[in-house]
Amino acid sequence: MNKFFFKRLRNVTKPKLIIFIIIGAIFIILPIQSRASKNPEEVKISPSIYPGLHHFLDLVDPDKNVSFDPGLVAGVMEFIESPKEDHALYFADDTLGMPSAYHEFDSQTDIGKISNYAFNPDIPDIATMPSSVRLFQWMDEKGQRRQAPRVERYLGDLDTPVVENALQYVEITPDTHSGAYYGYNLYQTLVVFKYRQGRAIITISRQVDVSTVGKKGYVLGTDDDWDYFYSGKKGLTIPALGWVSSYMYASSAINIYYEMKPGSPRVRCAMFKWLRAGWSGINMVKRKHIYSGLKRFAGTFKHIMENSALPPVEVLAADFSRIRQFSDDTLRSKMDGYAKILNRRYNGDRPNGKQKLAKMLADKGHWSGMTRDEMEAALVIEYMKAVIGKTPAAEIEELLEFKTVKQ
C-alpha cells in the first residue's frame, strides 16, 4: 500500500476503520469468491500507446484547448487491431493514476447500423445499453437539454474529422455486487474520423465531479433480464452495510467503434475505462470490477445489435416517439401496470413470493414519486425486451396500449 493510503487511514476513527475493513473484505473478497475460476490474467498495456490515450483524454478536458490529430492516436488504433491474449484483462492505470481496464469485442454488423441505433437522437441511448445505464441525457455547455448528435450524417464524407463536445447526465444501473447505483455529470467528446480505410466513431468522457451518493438498487432476476428496482434510498444492499455512503469519485472512458474491414459486417468495439469509487474518500475499486462492468455492457450491446428480431430503426423511432408523447398522468398510470408486471414476473400470483420484493413493488409512493425521465426509461426498456423476444410482446402492448411487433 502507498503512503497516501496509510495517511487516509490515520484520519479514520477506530469504529469507522473496523467498518472500512469489513467493507473492503466485501468489495474485494466477495467478487473473487463468486468468480474465482473466472479471474482473468492481468496484462499491462504497453506505455507506447499512452501518448495516444492522453491525446484522446485531453480532447474532453475543458481546461485544455486541443485539436484532434489522427496521427497521434495511430498507436491506439493499432493496439485495437492487434491480437490479444484470450481472457486477459488489459489495463493502463498509469495513464490517469487510477484503476483501469480494457475490453474489446466484435459486433457482426456494420458501422452504419451502429450509428443508426446507438447514435441517433430518435432512439433513446439507453435502448442499446439497458444493463448498464438507466438515464442518459445530453446537455449543452449551459446545462440545458439538447439532442444527441445524428452520427449517420457524418459517415459519408470524412476527409476532415468531426469533433463535437457536450455535457451528459448519466445514472447507471445497480452494481451487481453492492447494489449501489449513482448519478453523475460527464464531459463528453464525440470524434468521427477515418483511420486507414475504415471509419471510426469514438466517444471520450470524463466525470465532472463527485457522483450523487450511492443508492440501493436491486437486480430482480438475473442481470440478463434487465429488470431493476431503484429504491431512491441511500446505501448498499449488502447485509449490515445498508447505511454506507458510497460515491464515484472520478471516472474517464474511451469507447471506440471501428470498421475493421469496410463493406463487411464486422465492427471492433474497444473500451478503455478508469474508475475510482468507494467510501470515506478511499477507493475500493479493483481492475476486475471495471472489467466486469465493461463485459456487462458488451454482452447486452452485442445481443441487441445482432438480434435478428430487432425492428427497423424507423419503427423504433416511431414507437419511442409515442412513448415521449404520453402525458405525465398517463405515464403514472402505466407505472401501476409496470409494477404489476414485475410482481407477476418475480412473485407470481401467489402470496408466498419474496416478501421484501413484494413490499417494494407495492409501495405506491415509490411509483408516484418517479420523474418523467425515470418513467419513460422503464417503458423504453420494457419495449426493447419485448421486440427482441426476451418477454411476451402482448405484455408490453397491453402496458403501452399500442402494437409493437408482428405476432
Cell 408466498: give the residue.
Answer: 352
Quick one: pLDDT at residue 378?
Answer: 98
Quick one: pLDDT at residue 148?
Answer: 94
212 neighbors 324 (Cβ within 8 angstroms): no
Position 22 in a domain? no
Quick one: pLDDT at residue 353?
Answer: 46
19 — pLDDT class (breaks 50, 70, 90): low
Quick one: pLDDT at residue 277?
Answer: 97
Please tell me the distance from the alpha carbon of residue 212 to that of residue 171, in angstroms, as a whole number: 9
Please tell me the distance from the alpha carbon of residue 58 to that of residue 52, in angstroms, as a whole number: 10
Cell 473473487: give the residue.
Answer: 32
Q: Are residue 180 and residue 215 in the same domain, yes or no?
A: yes
Q: Are residue 302 and residue 322 in the same domain, yes or no?
A: no
Position 25 in a domain? no
Of the listed ranges 11-15, 106-110, 186-190, 397-401, the least confidently predicted one is 11-15
Q: Are residue 301 and residue 381 in the same domain, yes or no?
A: no
Quick one: pLDDT at residue 29?
Answer: 36
| Helix spans in 252-325 (H) | 287-305, 313-324
Position 301 in a domain? yes
Q: Are residue 229 and residue 343 in the same domain, yes or no?
A: no
Quick one: pLDDT at residue 120?
Answer: 97
Tell me the average pLDDT across 312-319.
96
Q: Are residue 324 and residue 201 in the same domain, yes or no?
A: no
356 Cβ neighbours under 8 A, 6+ residues apart: none
Position 5 in a domain? no
Tell me the average pLDDT across 9-27.
50
Classified as helix, coil or strand, 190 is strand
Please give the biggest Cα pair distance in the chain: 64
**Beta-bridge mates of residue 270:** 104, 256
**Beta-bridge mates of residue 171:** 135, 183
Q: Are residue 381 and residue 270 in the same domain, yes or no?
A: no
Considering the chain, what percentage of its residues have pLDDT values greater than 70?
88
Here the CATH number for the domain that contains residue 66 is 3.30.530.20
Tell me the average pLDDT across 311-322.
97
Q: Where is the domain boundary, 285, 306, 327?
A: 306
Q: Are residue 356 and residue 241 in the same domain, yes or no?
A: no
Domain count, the chain: 2
User: Could you give the dihedral angle defined by the CA atoms of residues 153, 156, 158 and 162, in that order, rounded to the nearest 10 degrees?
Assistant: 10
Position 16 in a domain? no
Q: Does the pLDDT of residue 407 top 80, yes or no?
A: no
pLDDT tens digits along 178-200: 999 999 999 999 999 999 989 99
Quick one: pLDDT at residue 3?
Answer: 45
Quick one: pLDDT at residue 87?
Answer: 87
Q: Where is the domain boundary, 255, 282, 306?
A: 306
CA 237 to chain centre: 20
Quick one: pLDDT at residue 141?
Answer: 84
Half-sphere exposure of 47 (CA within 13 A, CB side): 2
Q: Are residue 209 and residue 333 in the same domain, yes or no?
A: no
Closest CA to 101 of 41, 14, 22, 173: 41
Quick one: pLDDT at residue 264?
Answer: 83
Classified as helix, coil or strand, 348 is coil
pLDDT tens digits along 325-364: 999 999 999 999 999 999 999 876 544 446 778 888 989 9
Quick one: pLDDT at residue 354?
Answer: 65
Q: Does the pLDDT of residue 65 top 50, yes or no?
A: yes
Range of the domain at 175: 40-306
Position 6 in a domain? no
Q: Are residue 247 and residue 374 in the same domain, yes or no?
A: no
4 — pLDDT class (breaks 50, 70, 90): very low
Cell 415521449: give the residue.
Answer: 324
pLDDT tens digits along 285-312: 999 999 999 999 999 999 999 999 999 9
Q: Given strand 180-181, what is the order of strands in its sheet? A: 180-181, 215-219, 228-234
DSSP-derived letter for residue 183 is E
342 neighbors 220 (Cβ within 8 angstroms): yes
Q: Are residue 71 and residue 126 in the same domain, yes or no?
A: yes
Position 311 in a domain? no
Tell me the average pLDDT across 107-132.
97
13 — pLDDT class (breaks 50, 70, 90): low
Q: Does the pLDDT of residue 47 top 60, yes or no?
A: yes
Chain length of the chain: 407
Quick one: pLDDT at residue 143?
Answer: 86
Quick one: pLDDT at residue 35?
Answer: 41
223 Cβ neighbours under 8 A, 6+ residues apart: 131, 176, 296
Q: Where is the domain boundary, 282, 306, 330?
A: 306
DSSP-derived letter for residue 119 is S
Position 31 in a domain? no
Total Cβ atoms within 10 A of residue 108: 11
Q: Are residue 291 and residue 323 in the same domain, yes or no?
A: no
Quick one: pLDDT at residue 163?
Answer: 97
For 11, the grid coordinates are 484520519
Tell me the average pLDDT across 197-206.
96
Considering the chain, what percentage of its residues have pLDDT values greater than 90?
78
Angle (CA) 186-189-193 rounded to 5° is: 155
For 21, the grid coordinates are 475493513
Quick one: pLDDT at residue 24?
Answer: 53
pLDDT tens digits along 244-289: 999 999 999 999 999 988 878 999 999 999 999 999 999 999 999 9
Q: Are residue 275 and residue 348 in the same domain, yes or no?
A: no
Please tell me the distance from the alpha carbon of residue 301 to that of residue 288, in angstroms, as a whole number: 20
